[in-house]
Amino acid sequence: MKIVAVTACATGVAHTFMAKRAIEDAAKKRGHEVKVETQGATGIENGLTRKELEEADILILATDIKLARTERFENIKKVTIPVATAIKNANGVIKKIEEKLA
């Protein structure tokens, strides 16, 4: 699968990047392509392009706050989870997505 994700936490730094790493590692371990955008205190980094969003099978929004530029995400299959869930159990989240999309 092609997985794209956006992470954003309330204080905007540590958890945003912990979630990014957790999603990347879990996705790669399960054999998927992955790109994770962060919306943190330093703004949008590693931003998802229109092409990447079009080609993605699923968009994971791991966020505790209101995201920016959500108009990009309108016509994509997506799942929204709390940041803590991504950090603690990214593997379980991706496994569930695999089952749903199979």
Largest CA distance in the chain: 37
Catalytic pick from 5, 8, 9, 87?
Answer: 9
Residue 20 interacts with other proteins (CB under 8 A)?
A: yes
Residue 65 interacts with other proteins (CB under 8 A)?
A: no
Residue 42 interacts with other proteins (CB under 8 A)?
A: yes
Active site residue 9: yes
**Contacts with 54 (C-beta within 8 Å, 6 or more apart), sequence order:** none
CA distance 14 to 49: 24
Residues interacting with other proteins, by CB under 8 A? Answer: 10-18, 20-22, 25, 38, 40-42, 84, 87-88
- Please identify every residue annotated as catalytic: 9
